[in-house]
Structure 1
Amino acid sequence: MTLDDDFPESASGRPAWLMTLADLALLLVGFFVFLQASQHLDRKALAQGIRAGFGATHAPEATKTPDPMPLAAAAMLDFAPGSAVLPSTPASLVAWAREAARDPRVTLRITGSVDGSAADVDPTSGSGAILAADRARAVAVAVAAARAVPAGRMTIVGAPKPDYGHRNVLVTLGFAGTRQDDAAIPSDLAAIPHRPSGKP
């Protein structure tokens, strides 16, 4: 009796790799059928159903409103150390904001900053964060006073950390809309031809 007699002879049939290839092809076909079938479904309901299937009751990140997509920026530069008084008339910044805000889907994020030095802090509280917020507020007041942008479309924030060597206010123009709504856009902007979303 030889060692080879201990192993049963393999049955003749299809090679093992062919079975693996067939499984892969079936998975791909199933995936593409799923994609085709889900094209006309409510995407939110589909996502909720998939989450429920995996035992998740809700998606915390889906309930949070995302920050507007930034498109452009302008700045008010060179504030005096420890001061939130505007260093110059913000006429050009106000004109830029007014033109951008003609589209009702546009918002402004106004971020104040300090240079991180001991002299560049709020004189009353000694806080750089308060001075940064005061600088942003001063720019927002100038924009709102000129009626360039409604106050509800501006967000005032203080920079999370000092911008070393710079005492500025950055104004970021953001796009907060989803689909172009001709009824909500001024007539001269709505006249610009655009392609509907989802079509080439």
Structure 2
Amino acid sequence: MIARDDDLPEIAPARPAWLMTLADLALLLVAFFVFMQANQLDGGTLARGIRAGFGGADTGADVPPAPMPVAASALDGFAPGSAEVPAPVAPLVGWATEALRDPRATLAVTGMVDGTTTDVDAATQSPALLAADRARSVASVLIAHGIDPRRIALTAAGHPGRRSVSVTTGFAGNRQSVAAPVSAPPAAHTRT
């Protein structure tokens, strides 16, 4: 049997193309105004709001961002299970002193263990404690050579095969303020 035109169901008319374009434009405008409103908040308030939105704990205090790493050096040669600083330290101290000439730079001193059962703290059998002890030992050497302790942050990490301390310099400051343009002194008028 052949279907006739009056036997087929009626097809609903499609939405006009301009209606979809108008809906897209309206959503873009809403997103733009939400973005403009969010930019009126200070950075700390916005960060706390985002942290709370993702289920993070709100400490009420602004957490400063970690310094952006710029350069790194290392002190290798630690004996297994030891936090005694191996010699020589002069190259590391010279590098750190030069890196901290910029007052916006900081040092991150990271102690590392090799991951073996012999490279652990003798008293507690903790590799994390040994890594922290290595970082503290190197930081104390840097401080003894004139590095400001407020510019040093200590961390500990385990990297298989590395019995060392990594020292990373990072940029922790803000952009330098742009100096106001110096106006030229008024020209002296001479009479002729």
Could you state the TM-score of these two structures normalised by the residue count of structure 1? 0.67
Identity of aligned residues (%): 41
Q: Distance in 2 between matches of 1:122 and 1:182?
A: 50
Per the TM alignment, residue 126 of structure 1 is displaced from its structure 2 partner at its CA by 2.6
Uncovered stretches (5+) of structure 2, i.e. residues with no partner:
180-192
Residue 154 of structure 1 is matched in structure 2 by 152
Q: How far 1:165 moved relative to its partner?
A: 1.9
Counterparts of residues 156-175 of structure 1 (less than 5 Å): 156-159=154-157, 161=158, 163-175=159-171
Q: Higher helix fraction: Structure 1 or Structure 2?
A: 1
Flag structure 1 segments of 5+ consecutive residues without an equivalent: 184-200
Mapped partners of 2:95, 2:178: distance in 1: 23
Change (3 A) 1:22 1:75: same
Q: Compared with structure 1, are the counterparts of its residues 19 and 80 closer, same or farther at alpha carbon in structure 2 (3 Å cutoff)?
A: same
Over 3 Å counting, the alpha-carbon distance change for 1:37 and 1:113 in structure 2 is closer
Equivalent residue letter for 1:126: Q
Q: What is the 5 A alignment of 1:1-200?
A: 2-3=6-7, 16-28=16-28, 34=33, 42-44=40-42, 60=58, 63-147=62-146, 149-159=147-157, 161=158, 163-181=159-177
CA drift at 1:59: 8.5
Q: What is the CA–CA distance in structure 1 between the aligned matches of 2:80 and 2:11, rounded to whole Å?
A: 89
User: What is the deviation of 1:171?
Assistant: 0.6
CA–CA distance in structure 1, aligned partners of residues 90 and 122 of structure 2? 28
CA RMSD of aligned residues (A): 3.6
Aligned residues: 167
Structure 1 residues 37 and 134: CA distance shift in structure 2, 3 A: closer
**Displacement of 1:80 after TM fit?**
1.1
Larger radius of gyration: 2
Q: Provide the C-alpha distance between the structure 2 equivalents of 1:31 and 1:125, rounded to a whole number of angstroms.
A: 55
Instruction: Tell me: CA distance 1:114–1:18, structure 2 relative to 1, closer, same or farther (3 Å).
Output: same
Secondary structure at the residue paired with 1:112? strand
Q: Taking structure 2 as the reference length, what is the TM-score of the superposition?
A: 0.70
Deviates more, 1:17-26 or 1:149-158: 17-26
Equivalent position SS for 1:165:
coil
Cα separation, 2, equivalents of 1:7 and 1:71: 68
What is the Cα deviation at residue 86 of structure 1? 1.4
